[in-house]
Amino acid sequence: MFRAQLDALGLICPVCRLQGRGEQPIRLGVTLRAEGDDIIEGALVCDEPACRREHPIIDGIAVVVANLGGWAQHQLDAVLRREDLSPWMTSLLGDAAGPGTVLDNERRNLSTYATAHWASDEAAGGFPALLRAAFALAPPRGGLCLDLGASVGRGTFALAAAGATAAIGIDLSFAMLKVGERARRTGRVTYEQRQLGIVYEGREHAAPDPARVGFVCADVLNLPVKTGAASYAIDINVVDCIAEPLVHLAEVARVLASGSAAIVATPYDWQPNATPLGNWLGGHSQRGALAGSPEATVRALLAGGAADAHLGLALAAERERVPWRLYVNARSTMEYAVHVMHLQRS
């Protein structure tokens, strides 16, 4: 990540915030490998005496999480995954590991999201079409633009192309961010696309202009971003993939500057292993006044009617069913209908 992006972001320490020490800035304290002003390996440090935490920059991606140990339990495989093996050897190892393993799950997820982001025809309703629907509701502005749940990074590049002074993609999955970061540094989007079973084929596309793009590995429930720092945010297909959607929406509101816009889009595809039932927005209690409707639940929430406290986000415009096609394999595609909302920060 470039120093200029780090400066524009003004990252804060998520440990201090979690432990009640407020918003403590973190600064580049260690540089181990750099290409000019582009920091590839190093560490951001928190100067608060009670903390002194080091937040690593690995392969150009700043990892700024409150619980680095917990993060490592799930992400270290992706961090240490080597990328210099031939397709032949990768195929052999993929067969040896077999289906349903950590390696296979990572390959499947990367195939699905990299294809949706980088390979799909816009007319077929892939991620670019979803982005277009989002930007039509509220176009990005200059300043710091955040891509929350950035996945493999297409939206982050789109924010930069639309005029962001700094376009920062934030996601907890290091494996996903590596695709976007590799595109930023090499100019090529490369990934494996699942054909069937555990058969994968390499894919490669030219990446868009990487200027002003950067990636941070962080938890969208505890964003390492200063209050009011962002002038625009997209939050596409995140809300139904996390444990606490309301905590996340409060974080979106917190990091946005007053009067700025966020696009929140979700197909409400609730899964109990991602989101406990009690935290679902709709999708249950069909006997109630809102009949289990997620759209009605979210509208009531934004109006302040169903929440303990008002989020500070008002629903300015929406589209209820934007199609989004997600690649499974060469013979299968999933299609969602996504609720796309333009939320305005008060």
Residues that bind Zn ion (CB under 5 A): 13, 15-16, 24, 46, 48, 51, 53
Length of the chain: 346
CA–CA gap between residue 255 and residue 231 (Å, rounded): 9
Least distance in angstroms from the C-beta of 11 to Zn ion: 11
Q: How far is the CB of 13 from Zn ion (least distance, A)?
A: 3
The least distance separating Zn ion from the CB of residue 6, rounded to whole angstroms, comes to: 16
Could you tell me which of 210, 207, 218, 213 has the C-alpha nearest to residue 173? 218
Q: How far is the CB of 24 from Zn ion (least distance, A)?
A: 5
Task: Return the number of the residue (48 or 318) whose C-beta is nearest Zn ion.
Answer: 48
To the nearest whole angstrom, how small is the minimum distance from the Cβ of residue 290 to Zn ion?
Answer: 41
Reading the block at residue 78, the tokens are 């992706």
Shortest CB 145 distance to Zn ion, Å: 26
What is the Cα–Cα distance from 304 to 266, expressed in whole angstroms?
20
| Of residues 70 and 100, the one with the C-beta less far from Zn ion | 70
Which of residues 34 and 51 has its CB atom nearest to Zn ion in the complex? 51
Taking the complex as a whole, the smallest distance from the CB of residue 100 to Zn ion amounts, in Å, to 38
- Output 53 or 108, the one with its CB closest to Zn ion: 53
Q: Pick the closer one to Zn ion by CB: 12 or 158.
A: 12
Quick check: 248 and 219 in contact, CB under 8 A? no
Yes or no: say if 125 and 324 are a contact pair by the CB < 8 Å rule: yes
- With contact defined as beta carbons under 8 Å apart, do 282 and 310 qualify? no
Count Cα atoms within 13 angstroms, Cβ side, for 119: 22
Between 24 and 156, CB nearer to Zn ion: 24
- Cα 28 vs. chain centroid, distance in angstroms? 23
Q: Among residues 136, 132, 130, 126, which one has the least CA distance to residue 261? A: 136
Which C-beta is closer to Zn ion: that of 134 or that of 255?
Answer: 255
| Six token digits for residue 154 | 């297409």
Of 213, 217, 214, the C-alpha closest to 171 is 217
CB 251 within 8 A of CB 40: no
Cβ contact 169:215 at 8 Å: yes
Our CA angle for 300, 301, 303, nearest 5°, is 65
Q: Which is nearer to Zn ion, 41 or 48 (CB)?
A: 48
Minimum CB separation of residue 205 from Zn ion in Å reads 39
